[in-house]
Amino acid sequence: MQEVAYNTLVQKRRKDLHLQTARAIAHLYPSDEYAEMIAYHYGKTDEHDEAIPWLERAGDRAAAIYASETAITTYQETRRRLEQLGGREQDVAWLDEKLGCVLHMAGRYDEAISFLENAIDVYGREQELNAAGRATATLGMVHRFRGTPEEGIGRVQPMIDLLAQAGPSPALASLHIALAHLFFLMGKYREQMAAAERGAHIAATIGDDRLLGEAEMRRGTALDNLGDPEESRRVMEAALPLVEAGGDLLTLFITLNNLGFTLERLGRMDQARLYAERALEVTEQIGNPDRICFALGNLGGLLTMVGDWRGAHEALERAMALAGKIGRLAPDVATPLYYLGQLSLWEGDWEAASRHLREALALTEEMGDRQVREIAQALLADLDVLEGRPHQAVARLEPLIVREGAELAELLPALTRAGLAVRDDAHIRRAAEAAEKAVMVTRNHPGLLPDALCVQGMVFTVQGRLDDSHHVLTEGLARARSLPYPYIEARILVQLARLCKQRKEPDQERGRLAEALAIFRRLGAKKDVQQTERVLETLERD
């Protein structure tokens, strides 16, 4: 009993000391600079009234520097004390909204939804519509990154209808921007454009540059997907300073990533790489493992294209190792999966390619990422052709290309290769149509044009239009070298060799194959090396 009494006394004295220390520091240094220290000492006391505001301020400071786990713990303690005191529902809802925001940043989406839904419910009952709209916009973003866009739209659209009656506001602008994010994931690019334009108009009307920057970034992304990458680049580059000044790292990450992606499609690979690397740095600062996986995936894909396959492996394998630690499959994991599938396909590891691409496809079908789904289907179609299933490849792709907003620059070259592999007249005619359309579509996307020119050259060779074939393949070769896209360059060299064979130019054929073989060997494209070596051996025997 004496020991219990002694410990109780010691505990009480400790609490008193912490209380005195907290009060003294708060009196001497009332600014937020010492909020964490003051909150720490108050956290060791039972003085809930005094502790709550300092704990909340400490949580705000942690959230501001993206120390998400610290912010979550601090807000939860604040909430617990507030409930113990019987605090107002609105005050608890305010903490729930803050918790939802920080949990969203940390990638803990299911938990974020629970807190945000509670906050929205309270705000709605209290007729605090702007607060309800603000929290609903965050909820929409959570659903976007969780991979449940339909649920997000179901919550965001009714709130837009409700708030629109009250006129322009930050909450209404945020809701339209969230809607644009959700439409992007679903591949509804015209709807995305319309939502982004409405968000930008409201943001400009109320003079909110932070929201204007985010809305313009989303509009720029839609422009790229609707076939105008140059205007997309211009819009996003203009939005970037607004986003940077706004201080929201998640929006900054998305802007940098999307600008890098657009620059890659424009064939400006050095700039694209700088933006991809900067996007990775920003998302590492945020600390959300899902987003880090996504950024590493995009960087790995870019490195694959420019021929740095070792660097690509490092980025993609790091992404997958991180995905394994997350303990769940998030939508963002589909990006490193399909890029790893592409790299495996080009390296000649078809079993690994099939596994990675099918996993990516399953994720996108479950979680609604149309863009990744269509690119994964194009790569799987190429694998079908390589493994002798061209009819299956055609059946895989034809339903996709007729949809509005389809990734035609990726789908049409794959469909052309599949149609040529079937070899009957009907499929060759359809392959020619697909190749012509691919070139037309990618003229605005110079980074995607070399592959389109390659397949058009293949069609012309099959049709006996040898001069036309030489013209487009030569252009494709020059463009691939300028980017540089060494694997595409080598594939075009192989097609030029086949053209030389048709023209009965064995020396030129041998020279083109030797150039291609050197590239395939340097990259580590094993099956391409084997196939090219066999053709060269046959030439030597002849």
Q: Which CATH architecture has domain 446-542?
A: Alpha Horseshoe (1.25)
Mean predicted confidence (pLDDT) in 282-294: 95
The torsion of the CA quartet 92, 97, 99, 101, rounded to 10 degrees, works out to -170
Q: How far apart are CA 269 and CA 267, in angstroms?
A: 6
Q: What does the pLDDT read at residue 21?
A: 74
- Residue among 341, 308, 314, 242 at smallest CA distance from 523: 308
What is the token pair recorded at 25?
A: 């520091």
List the structure tokens of 477: 């070769």
Q: In the prediction, which pLDDT does 517 show? A: 98
Q: Residues for the chain: how many in total? A: 542
The answer, yes or no, to whether residue 2 has pLDDT greater than 90, is no
Q: Report the chain's mean pLDDT, rounded to a whole number.
A: 93
Long-range contacts of 263-267 (CB under 8 A, 24+ apart): 263/233, 264/302, 264/305, 264/447, 265/224, 265/229, 265/409, 265/445, 265/446, 265/447, 265/448, 266/229, 266/230, 266/233, 266/445, 266/446, 266/447, 267/445, 267/446, 267/447, 267/449, 267/479, 267/482, 267/483
Predicted model pTM: 0.92
Predicted confidence band of residue 10 (pLDDT cuts 50, 70, 90) = low
Ranges 6-15, 55-64, 110-119: which has the least confidence: 6-15
Domain ranges of the chain: 369-436, 446-542
Q: What is the DSSP letter of 502?
A: H
Q: 315-373 pLDDT, tens per residue?
A: 999 999 999 887 666 778 999 999 999 999 999 999 999 999 999 999 988 877 888 99
Rounded to a whole number, what is the largest CA-CA distance in the chain?
Answer: 105
pLDDT digits (tens, 9 = 90+) for 302-313: 999 999 999 999
Helix/strand/coil for 358: helix
Provide the pLDDT for residue 19.
Answer: 77
- pLDDT for 34 equals 76
- Contact at 8 Å (CB) between 100 and 120? no
List CB contacts of 14: < 8 A, sequence separation 6 or more.
Answer: 44
Q: What percent of the chain has pLDDT over 90?
A: 84
The residue that leads in pLDDT, 29 or 501, is 501
Band (40; pLDDT cuts 50, 70, 90): confident
Comparing 22-26, 215-219, 529-533, the range with the smallest average pLDDT is 22-26
Tens digits of per-residue pLDDT, 195-218? 999 999 999 999 999 999 999 999
Per-residue pLDDT reduced to its tens digit, 379-388: 999 999 999 9
pLDDT higher at 329 or 219: 219
Residues 6+ apart with CB under 8 A from 178: 136, 137, 138, 140, 141, 144, 152, 156
Q: Look at the block and give the residue holding tokens 């204007």.
A: 212
| pLDDT tens per residue across span 62-104 | 999 999 999 999 999 999 999 999 999 999 999 999 999 999 9
pLDDT value for 367: 77
If phi > 0 it is left, if psi is from -120 to 50 it is alpha, else beta; for residue 524 that is left
Q: What percent of the chain has pLDDT over 70?
A: 97
Out of 201-205, 223-227, 380-384, 475-479, which region has the weakest mean confidence (pLDDT)? Answer: 223-227
Task: Choose among 327, 280, 273: nearest CA to 303.
Answer: 273
- Nearest to residue 35, comparing CAs of 51, 19, 15? 51
- The pLDDT, as a whole number, for residue 1 is 42
Q: Are 123 and 93 spatial neighbours (Cβ–Cβ below 8 Å)?
A: yes
The angle formed by the CA atoms of residues 66, 97 and 100, to the nearest 5 degrees, is 55
